[in-house]
Chain A
Amino acid sequence: MGDSASLLSVRDLTVTFPTKRGPVRAVDSLAFDVLPGRTLGIVGESGSGKSVTSLAVMGLHTGAEVTGSVTLAGRELIGLSDRELNALRGRRMAMIFQDPLSSLHPYYTVGEQVAEHHRVHFGSRRATARERAVEALAEVGIPEPRRRAGEYPHQFSGGMRQRVMIAMALVCEPDLLIADEPTTALDVTVQAQILDLIARLQQERGLSVVMITHDLGVVARVAHDVLVMYGGRSAEHAPVDALFASPAHPYTRGLLDSLPRLDDPDDAPLRAIPGSPPSLLEPAPGCAFAPRCPRAAAGSEEERNRCATERPSLGGPDGHPAACHFPAYEGVAP
């Protein structure tokens, strides 16, 4: 591991929040790489740790204990001062969020907000920065960018606001874009537009993208590689085709089976996963998925015990590791 070719390399990342009811480990020993020009999809449900991970990469956690290593183009980010991080955030790595309206300042025009990024990072003159902002708004597909740059966020629709956020993220030509549920608040026809836009920008600029989502359909559309998170840990990590064709972890399998699909001909009942996602306050000693796992339930008493008491580590083939005592790999009986 520790791929020297990767742009972003995360190792042993652990994020712990102090709470009144004791420390909560929201992310636990996470590792992944993002290669230049590739998209990593991070999939998980609420409380899986996917958003906490992205904020930790950006150094945006205050009040949480973050340990492990996050390197961007070979440079360690954990332990950097705010000043050092500020020089990288927005310049080398940028982030867009689920709700664009709450990420934009209501009192400044859209053009001013995009231009400010350029001025801060490049020390450019107002006029230059404004030109760059108009170019960026044009590039993300905002019609009449010069006129629209003088308007305020409330004058934009949800989809157009998300385009503004992308323009703001890209005006400094970062190497890495982290998108945290960027289309969840949008209508499905507008979601398609934004996903197309991110894919186009990635191809044109060789951008690396981390796409955080709960939607396996979005992952199938945009990701090259997928990391599935459950209970703050990595459950499975694989190239997108391998993950969907032969999921090794029973949680991934269960998610895929439980989805109603447009291209599914039969109307048999959905194969639901029983139970609910785990509480991070009282983590189970064994595998976090064991209480809901059909594979654990079907095992012998000894096997069930192992799932309930021993936490599985990420193992299996190099390109497709899974954190399961009984993973299902192609040609290998689970």
Chain B
Amino acid sequence: MTTNAPPLLRVRDLTITFPGRRRGSAPIRAVDRIGFDVAAGETLGLVGESGCGKSTTGRTIVRLLEPTAGSVSFEGRDISHLSQRALKPLRRDLQMVFQDPHSSLNPRHTVARIIADPLLVQGATVAAARKRAVELMELVGLIPEHIDRHPHEFSGGQAQRIGIARALATNPRLVVADEPVSALDVSVQAQIVNLMERLQSELGLAYLFIAHDLSVVKRVCDRVAVMYLGRIVEIGAKERVYAAPAHPYTRALLSAVPLPDPAAERSRERITLLGDPPSPAAPPPGCTFHPRCPKAREICRTEAPPLRTLVPGEPREVACHFPEGV
């Protein structure tokens, strides 16, 4: 980046801990000193397996949670500890789309009310909000005549369109989308992916796209961050990360995705990891990936590798003592 203007979103040393299950037990560190930027109009993919902290990160960025340490800055302003009242004007710029469209829409409200709600909160009149809801329904490919229906009258894909329309109501600059297509049928996922891409180019949105499906992330993102047990293990331009993954976990993750192509499946080399992702309540010492890592050596058991640039000048960082391709 050549300008010195702050990026749209800047996350630095973000740490989020939750109290342990029993009184007196150690707190659980769900997110551990992560940092990244999202530029205006850009999509950053946040991928990882269950429990890696990706959703917790997303919820903290829209300030549904408050960080334990570190900072979240939006357009240069630190919002990590703002009060709900101080956050209210910011909510216009910062919206979220959830995984399960039906459980994130109030079943007793009409579509009009659901989409207009954020506008009413921001002080719009009822008539203006309803007019805007009609526009938004058209924008996301819903039939405006359905504005007085309730969520249960819509299919999963249509309900997700309602969720997207609601998120877009206030003309946000950044949308955090937490697994926006994983609850949808395969034949409907592509519709929503295409819709989100179209909206991005029409409205200049930035997305933080949280997902476990690496194929979807490859399609929608400009850059991708791979999380493992609360930390970012690899982050960089999508082309580099997918074509030449440097962290052994990224490599294993990519090789574990089944390809819809039987011939390719038979011929490809697969790295099968041993064991399960460890619990964030008891992270292994050193590099948290070492118990499952095919390349682990002594230093990996004792020393946590910092995130560092792999090749000078290349926009990619990796946290590994023995990264691939070096």
Contacts of B191 in A (CB 8 A): 272-274
Contacts of B216 in A (CB 8 A): 260
User: Roughly how many angstroms separate A215 CA and B277 CA in the complex, as a whole number?
Assistant: 22
User: Is A102 at the interface (CB under 8 A from chain B)?
Assistant: no
Q: Is the CB of B185 within 8 A of A277?
A: yes
Size of interface on B: residues with Cβ below 8 Å to A: 44
Majority secondary structure, B binding face: helix
Interface residues on A, range: 35 or more
B101 CB to closest chain A CB (Å) equals 12
Majority secondary structure, A binding face: helix
A72 CB to closest chain B CB (Å) equals 27
Partner of A187, one of B49, B185, B261: B49
Q: Is the CB of B190 within 8 A of A220?
A: no
Q: Is the CB of A218 within 8 A of B218?
A: no
User: Is A270 at the interface (CB under 8 A from chain B)?
Assistant: yes
Query: Which residues between 29 and 67 of chain A lie within 8 Å of chain B, taking CB atoms?
Result: 45-46
User: Roughly how many angstroms separate A277 CA and B185 CA in the complex, as a whole number?
Assistant: 8
User: Is B254 at the interface (CB under 8 A from chain A)?
Assistant: yes
User: Is B188 at the interface (CB under 8 A from chain A)?
Assistant: yes
Q: Is the CB of A262 within 8 A of B215?
A: yes
User: Is B310 at the interface (CB under 8 A from chain A)?
Assistant: no
Question: CB-nearest residue of chain A relative to B157?
Answer: A276
Q: Is the CB of A187 within 8 A of B50?
A: yes
Q: Is the CB of B256 within 8 A of A191?
A: yes
User: Roughly how many angstroms separate A217 CA and B216 CA in the complex, as a whole number?
Assistant: 13
Q: Is the CB of B256 within 8 A of A189?
A: yes
User: Is A117 at the interface (CB under 8 A from chain B)?
Assistant: no
Q: Is the CB of B190 within 8 A of A271?
A: yes
Partner of A45, one of B50, B186, B260: B186
B221 CB to closest chain A CB (Å) equals 10
Q: Is the CB of A272 within 8 A of B276?
A: no
Interface centre among B50, B187, B277 (most CB of A within 10 A): B187
Q: Is the CB of B219 within 8 A of A189?
A: no
Interface centre among A189, A215, A217, A269 (most CB of B within 10 A): A189
Q: Is the CB of B186 within 8 A of A216?
A: yes
Q: Is the CB of A240 within 8 A of B277?
A: no
Interface centre among B186, B242, B265 (most CB of A within 10 A): B186
A263 CB to closest chain B CB (Å) equals 6
A187-B212, A220-B262, A261-B260 known; A214 and B252 CB under 8 Å? no
Q: Is the CB of A188 within 8 A of B257?
A: yes
User: Is B100 at the interface (CB under 8 A from chain A)?
Assistant: no
Q: Is the CB of B260 within 8 A of A159?
A: no
Q: Is the CB of B188 within 8 A of A276?
A: yes
Q: Is the CB of B190 within 8 A of A244?
A: no
User: Is B273 at the interface (CB under 8 A from chain A)?
Assistant: yes
Q: Is the CB of A258 within 8 A of B189?
A: yes
User: Is A5 at the interface (CB under 8 A from chain B)?
Assistant: no
User: Roughly how many angstroms separate A201 CA and B10 CA in the complex, as a whole number?
Assistant: 49
Contacts of A157 in B (CB 8 A): 276
A269-B197, A270-B193 known; A240 and B187 CB under 8 Å? no
Contacts of A195 in B (CB 8 A): 258
13 CB-based A-B contacts, threshold 8 Å? A187-B50, A192-B256, A217-B265, A218-B258, A244-B263, A251-B187, A259-B260, A260-B190, A262-B214, A262-B215, A269-B194, A272-B187, A276-B157
A45-B186, A214-B185, A256-B260 are known contacts; what are 12 more A-B pairs with Cβ within 8 Å?
A: A188-B253, A189-B49, A214-B186, A221-B262, A241-B262, A258-B187, A258-B189, A258-B190, A262-B242, A269-B198, A270-B194, A276-B155
Interchain residue pairs A-B with the least CB separation, the first 3? A217-B258, A272-B190, A258-B190
